[in-house]
Each structure stands twice: as C-alpha cells, then as structure tokens.
C-alpha cells in the first residue's frame, strides 16, 4: 500500500492553457480512488503524471512522503493497466503476465510461482498457453490485470480498463477488480468517464471538469451533497433535475407556474432574486389525494423491470425525470399529479453554480453491522 500526495499540481503544454490546475489531494494507503469526469477533463493526464509518463509543470508529487516529480517510472514501484490492454500478440498469456518480472530480473522459478498464483486468482489457468487473439475481451482484460498484479507493486493505476467491454461484462469486471483490490490491499487509482463505475467502485472519488477539481468525497456524500451544478448534473443516473426559480414573498416560482412555499429553515433564500432548484428523480412521487401537488404531462416512459423512469414536460421549456421503484404501465400523453417533499430540495447559485444550502439532504442509507 502506498500513500500518494498531489500538492498544487498544474500541467500545461503551451504555457498558456492549464490542462490541470491546482490539483490538491491525498490518496491514502489501501484506498480505491476514482478520477471521474467527461472526456478531455484531464483524468488520464493526471494518472500519467503519477506514473511518470508525463512531466509536472508545477507543484509536487509525493509517494509515501518522498518527492517523486523527477523519479523515472521504473523507480516508482507501481503497475498500470491501459485502456487497450497493451498485450504482446506474439506472446502467450503466461509470457505476457511474466514479461515485467523478466525485466526486473526475478528468477524463472519465482516467475512461474507468481504467475500460477495470479492465474488461479483470476481464472486464467486454462488459458496460460493461449495467445491474446484466442481470448475474449474479458479474458484479455484479466490478463492485463494479472500482469499488473503479478509485480506485487503496492500502487496500481488503471486508465479506463473496462471501456472496451459490453455492459454485462463491465458490471462483472467492476466487482472482480474491487474484490481483488481489497484482497491484495493495493492502493488503486482508477480513471473512468462512467459515473456508475465511479459510484459503485470508489472509496472516494474526484470529479474533474476542464482540468479543475469540482468535488472530492465518498460516493454517497457526493451524490447527496453535490457542491455545484456540474456535479449535480454529472453524478446520478438519471442526473438531478434542475430548473431556475424566482424568489419572492417567501415563495419559489419555477417556470412561471409551479409555486411552492420556502421552508422556514431556508428563509435565507430571500436574499436571492433567482436560484437553481435541484431535485433527484427518486424524490418525485405520485401525489396522494391528501397531498399538495401539481399536474404534469408524461412525455416518455422506460420500464426497466425493477424500476420505471418517467419523463414529463415541466412547463414549456423543461423536461424532468422521475424514478419509481416497480413497474408502471403509463402511456405518453397521460397527465399525472406529482409531489415533491421540500426537505429534498437543493439550491444552487444562478451566478456561479455553487451550492447555496449546506444542510444535509436526507438519504436512506442503512448501515449493516458485522
């Protein structure tokens, strides 16, 4: 296990535009840390800087407390899994796995023992004499993972290793990688653009946009308490519903027709003229007769088996999505009466997108004691 510290790290190629700007984070030993964000936000660049494949423009990278800015990749004691797996096509599975050990001048006997152990762990034993072209995508991914693990390096870097796999296999490999990381006690830094991967795998996650850190935290904390509009709209599937609302006379008016009272604990909103109102899809419910609510027209329905996603028109300009547990037979064009408990509202600044309310949004999180 290794501790990785990035202190005010900046990266620029032309001296004018920062690809990464003021990255400041400490990744603890044994932590599964995920870098997530849209394509081009700087995730892979940061990973390559940690690996020593990219130079650092300014700031300090420390590995276990020792400055590593100028340390060659071969001396950083880490392993890396690339997006395209980078397997040697002319070598067998066994030879691909042990290639790094040969470079490190580890004895052939030790190479064989390590290879057999990791192949047994990852279910590759029957394929050790095959070449990459004879393997499926999932098997090739396991070989790339085995090659990283067999070195017994305490730090493992992964750059979107599952992006070439189909959805079912990605879900299976997410679980396998996470279990392997826990079993071996590795510090793992994992890059992905898929927020579902980030939510399901991370101990902590960093959300990046345009080379800047938007938020760092545990997945549920980020989901329940997004720091800004970008995080609110990026994290969550479907993402948070957002709409601009006018503030006046202790009331919020959204899209000119939805009027709701401002809760007493949120009276500070009266200092604002306008706010961005956010509501998670699972917090929109069908209104009972005794509950206050308003009518919407259904635009689309997706029945996913265990849950149903209902898209409805919200005024003239907006569409929102509700996520309901179970199966609902609803036709597009149907009018529904819905309600939202005001304790689930989230408020953001119209001017800079930052979260205005810091009070916690209740979340049904159950802790199971061992």
Give me the pLDDT at residue 84, please: 80
**97-106, 145-154, 356-365: lowest mean pLDDT where?**
356-365
Compare 68 and 367 and report the one with higher pLDDT.
68
Give me the pLDDT at residue 51, please: 93
Architecture of the domain spanning 238-349: Beta Barrel (2.40)
Instruction: Tell me the C-alpha distance between 77 and 229, whole Å.
Output: 38
Count of beta carbons in the 10 Å neighbourhood of residue 279 = 20
Q: Name residues whose C-beta falls within 8 Å of residue 225's C-beta, 6 or more positions apart in sequence.
A: 217, 355, 358, 360, 361
Provide the 8-state DSSP code for 355: B
Kindly list the domain boundaries of the chain, sorted by start residue.
4-229, 238-349
State the alpha helices, DSSP H only, in 150-276. Answer: 167-184, 195-201, 219-224, 229-234
Give me the pLDDT at residue 368, please: 52
Read off the tokens for 307: 């849950």
Mean pLDDT of 114-125: 87
CATH topology of domain 4-229: Rossmann fold (3.40.50)
- Give me the chain's average pLDDT, please: 87
Mean pLDDT of 219-246: 92
Give me the pLDDT at residue 1, please: 74
State the alpha helices, DSSP H only, in 107-259. Answer: 108-122, 137-149, 167-184, 195-201, 219-224, 229-234
pLDDT digits (tens, 9 = 90+) for 176-227: 889 888 988 889 999 999 989 999 999 999 999 999 999 999 999 999 999 9
Sheet (strand 66-67) strand order = 18-27, 4-12, 58-63, 66-67
Q: Helix, strand, or coil here: 4?
A: strand
Element spanning 214, H or E: strand 212-217
Element spanning 349, H or E: strand 346-349
Chain centroid to Cα 145, Å, comes to 20
Can you spell out the DSSP letters for 290-320?
TS--EEEEEEEEEE-SSEEEEEEEETTTEEE
Given a cut of 70, whether residue 30 has pLDDT beyond it is yes
Instruction: Categorize the per-residue pLDDT at 321 as very low, low, confident or very high, splitting at 50, 70 and 90.
Output: very high
What pTM was computed for the model? Answer: 0.87
pLDDT digits (tens, 9 = 90+) for 79-103: 888 878 788 999 999 999 988 887 7
Report the first-to-last Cα separation within the chain, whole angstroms.
Answer: 25
The residue among 37, 47, 38 whose CA lies nearest residue 9 is 47
Instruction: Tell me the C-alpha distance between 311 and 158, whole Å.
Output: 36
Q: How many helices (H) and strands (E) does the chain have?
A: 8, 20
Strand partners, 338: 286, 294
Given a cut of 80, whether residue 146 has pLDDT beyond it is yes
Instruction: Categorize the per-residue pLDDT at 257 as very low, low, confident or very high, splitting at 50, 70 and 90.
Output: low
């Amino acid at each position: 296990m290794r501790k990785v510290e990035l202190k005010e790290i900046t990266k620029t190629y032309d001296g004018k535009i920062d690809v990464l700007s003021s990255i400041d984070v400490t990744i603890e030993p044994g932590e599964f840390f995920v870098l997530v964000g849209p394509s081009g936000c700087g995730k892979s660049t940061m990973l390559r800087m940690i690996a020593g494949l990219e130079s650092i423009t300014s700031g300090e990278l420390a590995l276990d407390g020792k400055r590593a800015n100028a340390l060659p990749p071969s001396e950083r004691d880490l392993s890396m899994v690339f997006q395209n797996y980078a397997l040697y096509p002319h070598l067998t599975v066994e030879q691909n796995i042990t290639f790094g050990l040969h470079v490190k001048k580890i004895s052939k006997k030790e190479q064989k023992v390590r290879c057999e152990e990791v192949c047994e762990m990852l279910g590759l034993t029957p394929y050790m004499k095959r070449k990459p072209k004879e393997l499926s995508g999932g098997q090739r991914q396991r070989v790339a993972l085995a090659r990283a693990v067999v070195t017994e390096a305490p730090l493992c870097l992964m750059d979107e290793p599952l992006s070439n796999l189909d959805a079912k296999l990605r879900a299976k490999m997410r679980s396998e990688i996470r279990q392997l990381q826990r079993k071996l006690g590795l510090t793992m830094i994992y890059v992905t653009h898929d927020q579902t991967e980030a939510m399901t795998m991370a101990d902590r996650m960093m959300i990046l946009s345009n080379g800047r850190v938007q938020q760092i935290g545990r997945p549920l904390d980020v989901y329940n308490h997004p720091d800004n509009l970008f995080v609110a709209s990026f994290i969550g599937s479907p993402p948070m519903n957002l709409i601009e609302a006018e503030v006046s006379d202790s009331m919020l008016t959204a899209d000119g027709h939805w009027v709701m009272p401002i809760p007493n604990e949120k009276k500070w909103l009266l200092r604002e003229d306008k706010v961005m109102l956010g509501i998670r899809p699972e917090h929109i419910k069908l209104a009972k007769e005794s509950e206050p609510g308003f009518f919407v027209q259904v635009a689309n329905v997706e029945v996913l088996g265990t849950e149903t996603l209902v898209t409805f028109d919200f005024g003239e300009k907006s569409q929102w999505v509700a996520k309901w547990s179970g199966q609902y037979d609803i036709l597009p064009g149907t009018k529904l009466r819905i309600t939202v408990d005001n304790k689930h509202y989230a408020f953001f600044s119209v001017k800079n997108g930052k979260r205005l309310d810091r009070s916690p949004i209740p979340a049904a999180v159950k802790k199971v004691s061992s």
